Each structure stands twice: as structure tokens, then as C-alpha cells.
Amino acid sequence: MNDLFNLLKGIAPTLATAVAGPLGGAAVSAIASRLGVGDSVEAVAKAIAGDPQAAQKIAELELEMTKVAADAMKNENNNITERWNADMASDSWLSKNIRPMSLIAIFVGYFLFAMMSAFGYNASESYVILLGNWGQLIMGAYFAGRTVEKLAEMRKK
């Protein structure tokens, strides 16, 4: 596996990361299919080392995979935007305010844990970490997601 990873590092870093990650088997299968060899790590590594045009084939595969991932992200962002627009068009007060209320709830919870700690009461570390992760997720969706939408709108114009 290390041989294949080292071979791919210079040619296709994204595929190298995929091979080394949890989807390694799927990445090796995709590369093997492109090169026309067996689905084993050894067969793929041997094909890359023995074929001077393998680098070009792998670079093309990486480009295709990057385009597919970018399209998937674009579609997901469009779905989020549509969902948020539908929330804002709704007559429900809750659907219009759920994101800010969630963010406020996370801040209040985090503040309470901080105050508990300041006055000598121990909050379980796992709850504090969980609240921090939720806060990152909500802030990322709420602020960064909206910034990306605005940039995409500006780019279209």
C-alpha cells in the first residue's frame, strides 16, 4: 500500500489521499479499472511503475473525480439554498428563526458550562466537546454557508 501511495503522491495527490483513507478499496478499484488491471494494490502499483502513460491516465481520473465532487457540492449547496429560501417564505415563525435560535441555544449552553467550571462545578468534558462541535457545525452552516452563497451570487453577475 505504501508503494502505491508513494507512486500516486506526485501524480495525483487527491487519489493518493483517497487510497490511504477509508475509501482506499474503492479508489484502488477505480484506478485499476482505468488502467485495465486487476483490483489489487500490487497490480495497480506494478501497472503505474511499468507504464509511462499511466500517469496521464491517473491524472485524467483525478480530474474527473474532482469535477464530480465539485458538482456534488454545488448541487448540495443549491439544495441548502432552496431549503433555506422555502423556510424564509413560510408563514411559520419557527421555520424562519430556527437557525438563529439554535445558535443562541448552543452559545447559552456553552456559557453555562463555562460558568459551572468557573464556580467549581465540573461538567463532563464530553458534553463540552459535543457542544463545541455542534457550535462549529451551526456557525459553519449559518455564517460560512451564507458567505459562500453571496460569493456565488456575486460571481454569477
pLDDT of residue 11: 66
Could you tell me if residue 78 is inside a domain? no
Please give the distance of CA 73 from its chain centroid, rounded to a whole number.
9
At 124, phi and psi to the nearest 5?
-60, 130
Q: Which three cell numbers mark 3? A: 508503494
Supply the range of the domain harboring residue 23. Answer: 2-69
Q: Is residue 46 one of the residues assigned to a domain?
A: yes
The reported pLDDT for the residue numbered 5 is 65
pLDDT in tens, 84-118: 677 667 777 777 777 788 888 888 988 898 888 88
Q: Does residue 75 sit within a domain?
A: no
Instruction: Give residue 157's pLDDT.
Output: 76
For the segment 41-65, what is each residue's pLDDT rounded down to a tens digit? Answer: 788 777 777 777 777 777 777 777 7
110 and 65 inside one domain: no
